[in-house]
Structure 1
Amino acid sequence: MSATDRAARAAAADGICQEAYAAAGGPEAGVALVAVGGYGRAELAPHSDLDVVLVHEPGVDPGAMGEQLWYPLWNSGRRLDHAVRSLPEMVDAAQDLRVALGLLDVRHLAGDSGLAMQLRTTMLADWRRRARQSLPELRALVAKRHAVLGELAHESVPDLKEAEGGLRDAGVLRALEATWLVDASTPASESARMALLDVRDELHDLAGRPTDRVAPELWAPLAERLGLADAEAAQRHVRSLGRRITHVSRLSWRRVDAVLARPSGERGRRTPALQPVARGIALSRGEVVLDRQARPAADPTLLLRAAAEAASRDVVLAPVTAARLVREAPSLPVPWPAEARDALVRLLAGPGLLHVWETLEETGALETFLPEWDAIRLLPHASAIHRFTVDRHSVETCTEAAALIRSVARPDVLMVAALLHDIGKGELVEHSVAGEPIAREIATRMGFDAAAVDMVGALVRWHLLLGETATTRDPDDPVTVERVLARFPTAQGLALLHALTEADARATAPQAWSSWRATLIDRLVERARSVVAGDAPAEDEPTLEVPVAQSSTIQVDVATDEEGARVTVVAADRVGLLADIAGALALLRVSVRSARAWSQLTDGEEWACSLWEVADADLDPGVLRDRLRRVVAGEEVRLPSYGDRVLPPTVAVRGDSSRRCAVLEVRAADRPGTLYDVLGTLAGLDLAVRSAHVATLGPQAVDVFYVQEPGGVRPSDERAAEAARALRGVLAGAR
């Protein structure tokens, strides 16, 4: 579908409206039927509403004809949004910004054409007169809508109309242009708006109803209708349109801010003042431009230096400036000069990185110095936890890393690694493996020395190491520390990896860097640093002192925060105790993150202690204490059946993960009771669990268990294999 189809639908609707007006006895003077909003622009989608207003001059009463007018329109089967107002009432109604935006596109349908023209002229004049007072309110409304609906370029189920970068924002651009205060709507944004209207037309036709949300199953049929290769191509197409409108919108609002903040004496100045800020670069009305002495054809570093100035100052990199530099500036030599490399790092660490990066992308400037970026541009993440597409996530990681540069000795290496850590996404092999050689090649081209290139490559290859190790291995086991030090044996490397891990997680989603996860990673890094410094690693001992209540055979303590809870249980030891506690938690639908068990000698008596990190912040301590006491006292644990599993479980023995324990890695369907099944099976084999580490990857639970024989002896390989077989058997049968 195209603009021609929309115009044809509008023309057909016009005919119905004109016939209804004539049938209702509508006069030719003093009263007019007008279309507003999308119908006023003649941009009807297959299931759009007809937004119409019957407007009349003061003193003219349309009488009963108004009611007679609407019936034929309703009977036509079209959805109708209608009103009857006098011209002064229209002006009053336009005090509501939502109404005012729709009235900027008034179009005559029937009746007094002069009155329709007067209405359109009045609405535009009123909009321009009130613009300076209205625009801050309009911006607040836009920001509120964005906060609720997210970005069209990144939402998993994007809203073509209301999301940031959608059709509503494209309409706001036209409204900003109509104020005459800024140049807002551009040929690029208008082209994107028209293409997005084409997508919405196809979406309406596919769904058979008025909808603006693209559900995942609609991408493939949309691709076919739009003449694109597949669902991914359709996503990239739509998201690129949203990104273009978003970019122009952000740029336009910054320009609005600059206009509103400009002293009154400058408002009439035709030639803006230039404030030199660097060689060849100036600041003009809040935008980085070239000064009069700039010689783009003789300066290959000028583009990066201009971008760095804009990002460092958090101001606009003028798109016309970036486009000119793409046309006129020569390519950077290989390797890059130090000035270009330094400018890139300043760009990546600047508070205005996101806006400047968008300008570099939209003007084609980015591909002049980082052509590899195109492979991840608008690429969706496989994991639903990610808020953004791969490219935007990488930029957000740089923003997070910029806050951590004082914690590392090589901020330049950190920033480049943050930019490139996901550069291998979209390849057929693991993205960190695929990304390492790409990152090395880029870092070499940028002119980094061999040691820095090696570090960038290692950070890209192992950027998941700390997160995976801290959450699935016992951080107090020396072998866990050795696993990290085998890849990053120096304090400098550890600091860089630590900062990149935090930045990557924070850029992913709030829940990806919880206090629990941060504590595990910090603890692992601190132990690794101690080893590097020559200190002996601490023994595998409990980190929490748990006082034992002598008057009771069980003590339960629960400490909650906004992210979860820490549950400690002290009781007389017996076989199966840990499994029963896991069963009690499962009955309460409590999600366990990790568990740790040890024996504690108090006043000559040995007590079984366990520490459980759980994800439920609203855990009721009283209910939990009661349930645990009953289970520890011997109450049978009965969990419901969960049916057959789609994927068979796997259980592997990780023989090199600990010298003191056998380590079993269990992957199975994520459901309540998995931990109870595993712990109960191990108890039946007379194996003690020293620690358990629970993680969830999509629908799959990935649990790691450190087990010992009674007395703290490491199980033999045969015993570990026996335990693995037993676990496979238990987990393969649905309860």
Structure 2
Amino acid sequence: IHALWWALDAGLVLNGADRQELKRANEVLLTARVALHITTRRAGDVLRLEDQDAVARMIGFDDADKLMAEIAAAGRSVAWIADEAWARLDPPANANEPSRRLAPGVELVRGEVHLDETANPATDPTLVLRVATAAARLNARIDRESLNRLGEETPVWPDPWPAGASDDFVALMLEGQRAIPVLESLDQRDLITKVLPEWAPNRSKPQRNAYHRYTVDRHLWQTVANAAGLAATVSRPDLLMFGAWFHDIGKGYPGDHTEVGVKMFASIGPRMGLSADDVATVQALIEHHLLLADTATRRDLSDDATITFVATTLKSSLTLELLRALTESDSKATGVSAWSDWKAGLVAELTERVHHVLGGGNVHDVTWKLFPDAEVLEMMAEGRFASCTTENSIIVVSPDRPGTFSKVAGVMALHGLDVLGAEAHSDEMGMAASEFRVQPPATHAIEWGRVIESVERALRNELALEARLVERARDYGPSRAKTAIPPAPPSVRFDDTASSNSTLLEVRAPDKIGLLHNIAKTIADMGLDIRHARVQTLTNEVVDTFYVRSATGGKLTGPVHRAEVERALLFAVSK
């Protein structure tokens, strides 16, 4: 803002509307800054997640979501006005090239897309998308006069859309990353809501947690851009684009955003001219946009019940193909911790197995285990302690004793290693294997020799693990980023349908030092055998999934025992 004021003093020209918007945005940001200083009693310009509620109350907002939406909108306005201003001061390299016609009524003039006098947005509502697509394709701006004309003259789109309009929409989305600045310009002139009125509540809507990088609208645009890069991998790129744009459209409305989005698209799809089958496919993408990621990271992919569940849910290979691409696009648009090589591999493996079943194959043909692999099975066959490491993972093989998995997990915490994922397996010969993927320290390599030494001592009961973990938690405290919205209360869920021979036990709880150790130790103390485990850390919350059997080798079906296990686990995660 200050840079723009200085540029104005130096001769930059801003129109009256931009000046007014800049003043309004400045007032929003300045008010929040003053309230931040008063509530925190310290100087600073960073409105942290944990301070947002107090600042919102001081300013007079009902909740911090409204405050952060105002701040996000103000920031967007400032950024856009600044980009427009700097572009005028530094014209594009092709500004001196002769004008050329791009389409009827549309030209490239001085390196910018321009509407000539023959263009009539009032009678040609889809002109806005054709202009936007041309700008994105050429990586050019829409000149300000033309953008203002589009904003003032373009009518609200009719129901149904004009013929070919959905194709124009897809063409813009397929421009990928180049489309994002153009979409921002359209949104600054309220043009997207003329095309899709349902868009309005998602504009600048914050996602107040450390997991999401963007506001809802920007997240959806980034998902679309990512999906455009995967368009060649699917047979229906148009449906992938629609799934990317609409998968979180319900977040701007009350209720479960997935259910709301599915219901909304029941009217949006026909308005766009989609067939009933295509509407149903996009609705399936919206409804199940988290299915592959959640299943791949929390379920045992070697269990036929897992593969059958996903195949039965999705029903078609087309939906599966589109959902795989949407899963990657959505995850990458969420944040740095939402997608990794490990997660990508699991999703690809799950997709391949489900595709086999949907193609008519036998589920038992695709239920081989990812862990342990042949090398680990050889280590287990030797019947003694063994380990191997990579830069960010460790595999431990040892005789299977109650609490083995929990002890290894405890050693990871003791050495300050954040567990991002874990696998566990035990065989009928009395051996156990576990693999832990951890976050390497930013400043140095992991000293695996010291870690392995501690693991061996813990398994020999020669390490005061409980006492040391308490001391570490006291000295170092929480290691995860805070969120403005507190994690949900701890919960325990049992599922006997997720596996043919084990009970799925899912524990959700706020993350803290030694949490996985506490959970696994409690499971062992309650007489349960962990046959398989999946661990997922989501910033400040963990979702740990265990496939367990009772002491008799069967599922955990007794209601009294279940109730006691739940009680013990809730106590363990609250300590």
Both proteins in one fold, TM over 0.5 = yes
Give the letter for the 1:187 counterpart: G
CA distance in 1, matches of 2:63, 2:367: 55
Distance 1:699 1:289, change over 3 A: same
Task: Show CA shifts across 1:652-705 (max 9, x none).
Answer: 211211112111112234223332233333334443211111223454332111
User: Which secondary structure does the structure 1 equivalent of 2:427 belong to?
Assistant: strand
Alpha-carbon offset, residue 424 of structure 1: 0.8
Deviation at 1:586, TM superposition (A): 2.8
Judge conservation of contact 2:244–2:330 (CA < 8 Å) in 1.
Answer: yes
2:298 to 467, 472, 479: 472
Judged with a 3 Å threshold, the aligned counterparts in structure 2 of structure 1 residues 596 and 291 are, in CA distance, closer, same or farther, namely same
Write the distance in 1 (CA, Å) between the matches of 2:342 and 2:416: 19
Residue 524 to residue 724, structure 1, CA distance change in 2 (3 Å): farther
**Structure 1 counterpart of 2:466:** 638
Measure the CA separation in 2 of the matches of 1:241 and 1:362: 11
CA distance in 2, matches of 1:361, 1:415: 19
Match for 2:24 among 186, 195, 199?
Answer: 195
Confirm or deny: 8 A CA contact 2:522 2:568 kept in the other structure.
Answer: no
Q: Distance in 2 between matches of 1:223 and 1:590?
A: 36
Q: Which residue is equivalent to 2:8?
A: 174
Map of 1:303 onto structure 2: 128
CA distance in structure 1 between the partners assigned to 2:186 and 2:440 by the alignment:
43
1:717 corresponds to: 557
Q: Residue in 1 aligned with 2:388?
A: 557
Kept in 1: contact 2:535–2:545 (CA 8 A): yes
1:433 and 2:274 equivalent? no
Per-residue deviation, residues 360-394 of structure 1 (Å, max 9, x unmatched): 11112222111111111111103222111111111
Deviation at 1:422, TM superposition (A): 1.2
Q: Which residue of 2 aligns with 1:411?
A: 237
Question: CA separation of 1:669/1:325 partners in 2, compared to 1, >3 Å: closer, same or farther?
Answer: closer
Q: SS at 1:315's partner residue?
A: coil
Q: CA deviation at 1:634?
A: 2.8
> 1:595 is matched with which residue: 423, 427, 440?
423
Asked if 1:732 corresponds to 2:571, the answer is yes
CA distance in 1 between counterparts of 2:206 and 2:535 reads 27
Q: Is the 2:95–2:109 contact (alpha carbons within 8 Å) kept by the matching residues of 1?
A: no
- Name the SS for the 2:81 alignment partner: helix
| Distance verdict in 2 for CA 1:214–1:584, change over 3 Å | closer
Once the two structures are TM-superposed, the CA of residue 732 in structure 1 deviates from its matched residue by: 1.0
Aligned equivalents of 2:359 and 2:6: distance in 1?
A: 59
- In structure 2, distance between residues paired with 1:217 and 1:678: 28
Checking the alignment, whether the CA contact within 8 Å between 1:319 and 1:363 is kept in structure 2 is no
Report if the CA contact (8 A) 2:372-2:433 is conserved: no
**Residue 262 of structure 2 contacts residue 286 of structure 2 at CA under 8 Å; is this kept in 1?**
yes
Unaligned 5+ segments in structure 2 are 479-486
Q: Pick from 174, 178, 200 the counterpart of residue 349 of structure 1.
A: 174
Partner secondary structure for residue 390 of structure 2: strand
Superposed counterparts of 1:287-436, under 5 Å: 287-350=112-175, 351-436=177-262
Kindly tell me: are residues 248 and 717 of structure 1, through their superposed partners in 2, closer, same or farther at Cα, counting changes over 3 Å?
same
Q: Secondary structure at the match of 1:276?
A: strand
The alpha carbon displacement at 1:585 in A equals: 2.2
* SS at 1:382 equivalent: coil
State the partner residue of 1:582: 409
Matches within 5 A, 1:612-651: 612-616=436-440, 618-636=445-463, 637-639=465-467, 640-641=469-470, 649-651=490-492
Q: In the alignment, is the contact (CA less than 8 A) between 2:250 and 2:261 conserved in 1?
A: yes
CA distance in 1, matches of 2:49, 2:159: 43
**Structure 2 residue 15 is the aligned partner of structure 1 residue 186:** yes
Find out whether 1:692 has 2:523 as its counterpart: no
Whether contact under 8 Å (1:336, 1:445) holds in the other structure is yes
CA contact (8 A) 2:155 2:194 kept: no
Cross-structure match for 2:522 = 681
Q: 2:432 is matched by which residue type in structure 1?
A: A
Amino acid at match of 1:574: R
Q: CA deviation at 1:404?
A: 0.6
> Quick one: distance in 1 between partners of 2:569 and 2:126?
64
> 1: distance between equivalents of 2:57 and 2:517?
48
1:533 to 327, 344, 359: 359
Provide the rounded CA distance (Å) in 2 between the counterparts of 1:674 and 1:200: 39
With over 3 angstroms needed to count, the CA separation of the structure-2 counterparts of 1:676 and 1:219, relative to structure 1, is closer
- Tell me if structure 1 keeps the 8 A contact 2:121–2:150: yes
8 Å contact kept, 1:668–1:702: yes
Partner of 1:235: helix, strand, or coil?
helix
Shift of 1:230: 5.3
Q: 1:573 aligns with which of 400, 422, 425?
A: 400
RMSD value over aligned CA atoms? 3.2
Provide the identity percentage: 32
Given that residues 650 and 728 in structure 1 are in contact (C-alpha distance below 8 angstroms), is that contact kept between their aligned partners in structure 2? Answer: no
Return 681-690 or 546-555, whichever deviates more. 546-555
Per-residue deviation at 1:221? 7.3
Match for residue 248 of structure 1?
81
Change (3 A) 1:477 1:253: farther
Q: What residue in structure 1 maps to residue 545 of structure 2? A: 704
1:524 aligns with 2:350: yes
User: Relative to structure 2, which stretch is displaced further, 515-524 or 494-503?
Assistant: 515-524
Give 1:27's aligned residue: none
- Is the Cα contact below 8 Å between 1:323 and 1:364 reproduced in 2? no
CA contact (8 A) 1:682 1:723 kept: no
- 1:335 & 1:678 partners in 2: Cα distance? 54
Confirm or deny: 8 A CA contact 2:331 2:338 kept in the other structure: yes
Of 398-407 and 516-525, deviating more is 516-525
Q: Does the aligned pair in 2 maintain the 1:649–1:668 contact within 8 Å?
A: yes
| Aligned mate of 1:659, from 487, 500, 503 | 500
CA distance in 1, matches of 2:47, 2:402: 54
Task: Pick closer, same or farther for the CA change 1:684–1:717 going to 2, 3 Å.
Answer: same
Paired letter, 1:660: N
Partner of 1:38: none
CA contact (8 A) 2:107 2:113 kept: yes
SS of the equivalent of 1:282 reads strand
Counterpart Cα distance in 2 of 1:631 and 1:408: 50
Judge which range, 252-261 or 490-499, deviates more.
Answer: 252-261
Change (3 A) 1:313 1:172: farther
Read off the aligned partner of 2:357 and give its amino acid letter.
Answer: V
Q: Residues 312 and 352 of structure 1 are in contact (CA less than 8 Å); yes or no, is this contact kept in structure 2?
A: yes
Q: Highest Rg: 1 or 2?
A: 1
1:151-166, aligned counterparts within 5 Å?
none
Deviations 1:449-498 (A, max 9, x none): 11111111111121111122122211222222222222212221111111
Q: Which amino acid aligns with 1:701?
A: V
Indicate conservation of the 8 Å contact 2:26/2:74, yes or no.
Answer: no
Structure 1 residue 481 corresponds to structure 2 residue 312: no
Q: Residue type matched to 2:256 in 1?
A: E
CA distance in structure 2 between the partners assigned to 1:345 and 1:484 by the alignment: 28
Q: What is the Cα deviation at residue 200 of structure 1?
A: 5.4
In 1, the alpha carbon distance for the partners of 2:413 and 2:434 equals 16
Cα distance in 2 between the residues matched to 1:673 and 1:362 = 48
